[in-house]
A and B are shown apart, each in its own frame.
Chain A
Amino acid sequence: MAILETENVNFAYPSGAEILHGVNFSVNAGECVALLGANGCGKTTLFQHFNGLLKPHSGRVLLKGKDLSQWHKNEVFTQVGMVFQDPHDQLFAASVYEDVSYGPKNIGLSPSDIQERVESALKQCKMWDQRNHSIHQLSYGQKKRVAIAGVLAMRSEIIVLDEPTAGLDPRTAADLMLTLKGLQVNKGLTIILSTHEVDIVPIYCDKVYVMQEGRIVSKGTPEQVFSDPVLIREAYLRLPRIAHLWEILKHKEGLDSSSNPLTIKEARKAFRKL
């Protein structure tokens, strides 16, 4: 059963710019779902519908089968945590510990419960040792981790991340994605993320949606979605590097293979079969 879904969501900003057109989006509990799309295609706007920051002009957003308008706002925020693209937009407290404690304090938990949640969230994000640091002393990657810890401390079942790897070096990005995958696998969290980095999608995500000019133009497993390179390129995206290389080898070098690997692991397997 879908834990979060949208039905025919349409949205326009007060300026009149129509951003979302009949968006249908569905995520099952415990899945990791990627939303791909060019800049300005409406990914962030759609994400802001998931926890009620924005309300659709028409259509519905359902959380656990219940219309978002029937939930109390604070209940929605504890169920659907959101990590903004720029951590500077999210972090405001003087120290790491204080910032992560902000959400649990607003829920009204006892100090001991807050402490337990903050410690657990910071340890999961590998930021416990920096708990007393000022926010401005942290690197960009560390700030991203603290922003995620702030949401984890809310014990949200669904975490929505707007371009979590943007601006990170490859090593930090990989570390962050592994942390998120660990949370999905070990804690059963549902993860929804938007990204331009198509190479990480087949490695970490179970399902992919492709968005173009406010419409969902493709959905399915990474294998299904990346099997249509024309659509991917029309959406101003690209194939994962391995898939692109395989495409070149097949079409220009006459490689005879029925498989379409998306990752290095899959490519190795495909090579062995040749």
Chain B
Amino acid sequence: MLAQGIRVQNPTTKLSQVDGRVKLFLTVAGLLAATSTGSWILPFCFGIGSLLLLRLVGVSGHLLWRRLRPILLLATLIGVSQIFINGQTPLFQWDIFSIHLIGYHEGMERGELFAARILGGVSVMSVLTFTTTVQEWIQALAWFRVPQVVIEIMTLAYSSLFTLLDELERLQKAQQMRLGYGTWWRSIQSLGAIGGILFIRVFDKSVRLWQAMRCRGYNGEISVLNNHALKRKDILVSGFGFIMILGSWLVGK
């Protein structure tokens, strides 16, 4: 199930054609703007704006809801919990059985801010994740001079992920067919065995990958050619997007 979830492809939208570097730049700018103000209104507007943008370019509401549901639940829980934790000015008081709950005014404001920041941050990030492939991310990060070692780890982790998931699925199915998940105790044993086998297979695979890389002149550094020049359209999108974000921040701060 986990493997299937990770494998789900993003829908192709108009934003998919925008260069990954532009989207990454605007996302970082958007995140900074959404989280750097003391008011809940700006991050909330960024959140709603991002979700509307995604709907506008064709991402289905169902998919958005499915992916954002846990985060929105978390934002609500954090926001609500703040009401009872922070502040001195009582807003309301509840007696539930023997529990005496006091909601504070300051806590509510803090909760609103936290929840709005989570909504804003996650929604802005969603624009990037829904419209950009991981390989575009990696290329964009490399272009922004993120340290080479980080790029290499990301590249190897991403490329190994699917091989490992395939391996995991195969092993799990093989165990299932031989009743490896019949009882809870048997399930724990089967999962433990998978962990051990995966570790050994990962080690074997890493040795073979190293050999294959040696055959292609590996010298301690993974270096590949990304040959995507920024187009005029991308520069325009990035300029327009940045002005919009800056303008909203100046108005909303």
Docked-complex contact B209 and A89, CB < 8 angstroms: yes
Write out, one digit per residue, whether chain B residues 167-180 have a CB within 8 A of any chain A CB (1) or not (0): 00000000000000
Count residues of B near A (Cβ-Cβ below 8 Å): 31
Query: Are B211's CB and A88's CB within 8 A?
Result: no
One digit per residue, 1 when the CB lies within 8 angstroms of any chain A CB and 0 when it does not, for chain B 234-250 equals 00000000000000000
Q: Chain B binding site: helix, strand, loop or mixed by DSSP? A: helix
Cβ of B69 within 8 Å of any chain A Cβ, yes or no, is: no
Contacts A101-B225, A105-B224, A115-B227 given; does A92 touch B217 at CB 8 Å: no
Identify the closest chain A residue to B208 (Cβ).
Answer: A89
Contacts of A136 in B (CB 8 A): 159, 161-162
Q: How many residues of A contact B (CB 8 A)?
A: 38
Residue among A88, A91, A99 with most chain B CB within 10 A: A88
Decide if A74 is an interface residue (CB 8 Å cutoff).
Answer: yes
A77 with B216: in contact, given A93-B159, A106-B223, A111-B225 (CB under 8 Å)?
yes
User: 20 extra interchain contacts, Cβ-Cβ under 8 A, other than A99-B224, A106-B223?
Assistant: A53-B211, A77-B217, A78-B217, A82-B212, A84-B211, A88-B163, A89-B205, A89-B212, A92-B159, A92-B222, A93-B222, A93-B224, A94-B159, A98-B139, A102-B213, A111-B227, A134-B133, A134-B135, A154-B216, A154-B217
What does the 1/0 interface line of A67-96 toward B look like (CB < 8 Å)?
000000010011001101010111111110
- Can you list 17 residue pairs at the A/B interface with Cβ under 8 Å? A51-B215, A53-B211, A53-B214, A74-B219, A93-B155, A93-B222, A94-B135, A94-B138, A98-B225, A103-B216, A104-B225, A106-B223, A114-B225, A115-B225, A134-B134, A136-B159, A154-B216
**A78, A93, A154: most-surrounded residue (chain B CB, <10 A):** A93
Known: A98-B226, A99-B224, A101-B224. A92 touches B156 (CB 8 A): yes
Given known A92-B209, A114-B225, A134-B133, contact A103–B217 (CB-CB < 8 A): yes
Among A92, A97, A98, A151, contact of B213 (Cβ-Cβ < 8 Å): A92
B218 at the interface (CB under 8 A from A): yes
Contact of B208 among A84, A98, A115, A150 (CB under 8 A): A84
CB distance from B8 to the nearest CB of A (A): 12
Query: Within 8 Å CB of A115, what residues of B?
Result: 225, 227
Determine the distance from Cα of A88 to Cα of B224 in the docked complex, in whole angstroms: 18
